[in-house]
Homo-oligomer: A and B are copies of this chain.
Amino acid sequence: MESTLILIQCKDNIGLVTSISHVLSSHNLNIITMREFVDELSSLFFARIECRGFVQDNQLLAIELKNSLPENAIITINPSKKKKIAILVTKEYHCLGDTLMRHSFNTLGGEIQCVIGNHETLRSITERFSLPFHYISHENKDKKAFENELLAILALYKPDYIILAKFMRILSPNFISNYAGKIINIHHSFLPAFVGANPYQQAFNRGVKIIGATAHFVTSDLDEGPIITQQITHVNHNFNASQMRIAGREVEKAVLSKAIALVLEDRVFITGNKTIVFE
């Protein structure tokens, strides 16, 4: 039987669930799973509703929901199941490789349009999967020029999401503002984290017994965007910095793949500098 997914984000108010479910009933939509959350700090209401039933007239349903909800409600009915993705990389293969493999077997839940690298290293693996690879060097140009080249390529594809799969350049607030809430990064650490270069060396120096990785949306505040998901792995005194890096890669790969799945299944909402994840 047909199913319908509805996403709602609006100011909190008394009777929201009643209002929403009333409209859905009148369209013969039966709620199977309703996940909702009120962020008390921002007084915002978020809902992800799976219904059984077929929507005859999306626009009419959207208008009726809008009329029954507080002003400026954001309503999405049946978001695309094939979101378009651009991947930015540098040299490390593990996150890209895993994403390409899932894509190749139709288990990624999205459509990779292209891979863009600031090095040529990962052209070969990308092309093995018959996907376009664009090489845009950051060398011999200022950041603005580099980012303009990136933006020009991205403009050709109009991706829904940009995945930074170990892309080792810091993007400017200006770049990010073009894809606000649409850029997903994998950070090689917990947050809070060792600040600055070579976190695995720092983790080694500190003698930690756990290392982790964090997938987050990118905001203008470097590594400070809303966290989507985090994972960890245990290490011990036998690990040198390089072995911590190897162990860390497994976590990075797993956590990015989990974050991509959550986002592409429309399970993640952004509220302020946090996420709501209806897992």
Write the residues of chain A forming the contact surface with B, with a CB cutoff of 8 angstroms: 14-18, 21-22, 24-25, 28, 30-40, 93-94, 97-98, 101, 104-105, 107, 125, 128-129, 190-194, 206-210, 212, 226-232, 236-238, 240, 246, 250, 254, 257, 273-277, 279
This chain's copy number in the assembly? 4
Instruction: Name the one of B34, B37, B194, B236 contacting A17, with C-beta atoms under 8 angstroms.
Output: B34
* Nearest-Cβ distance from residue A21 to partner chain B, whole angstroms: 4
User: 8 closest A-B pairs (Cβ-Cβ)?
Assistant: A207-B274, A18-B21, A97-B101, A17-B21, A237-B276, A14-B30, A210-B230, A209-B230
Known contacts A207-B227, A209-B227; decide if A36 and B37 are in contact (CB<8 Å): no
Whether the pair B192, A237 counts as a contact (CB closer than 8 A) is: no
Q: Residues of B contacting A18 with CB < 8 Å?
A: 18, 21-22, 24-25
* Nearest-Cβ distance from residue A247 to partner chain B, whole angstroms: 11
Q: Residues of B contacting A238 with CB < 8 Å?
A: 33, 37
Closest residue of B by beta carbon distance from A195: B192
Whether the pair B34, A38 counts as a contact (CB closer than 8 A) is: no
In the bound assembly, the distance between CA atoms of A93 and B98 in angstroms comes to: 12
Q: Residues of B contacting A28 with CB < 8 Å?
A: 14
Instruction: Name the one of B33, B105, B190 contacting A210, with C-beta atoms under 8 angstroms.
Output: B190
In the bound assembly, the distance between CA atoms of A45 and B213 in angstroms comes to: 32
Whether the pair B25, A207 counts as a contact (CB closer than 8 A) is: no
Instruction: Name the one of B30, B206, B273 contacting A227, with C-beta atoms under 8 angstroms.
Output: B206
Q: Residues of B contacting A40 with CB < 8 Å?
A: 240
Closest residue of B by beta carbon distance from A234: B230
* Nearest-Cβ distance from residue A65 to partner chain B, whole angstroms: 14
Whether the pair A226, B254 counts as a contact (CB closer than 8 A) is: no
Interface centre among A18, A38, A276 (most CB of B within 10 A): A18
Known contacts A129-B128, A229-B209; decide if A93 and B101 are in contact (CB<8 Å): yes
Interface centre among A33, A105, A237 (most CB of B within 10 A): A237
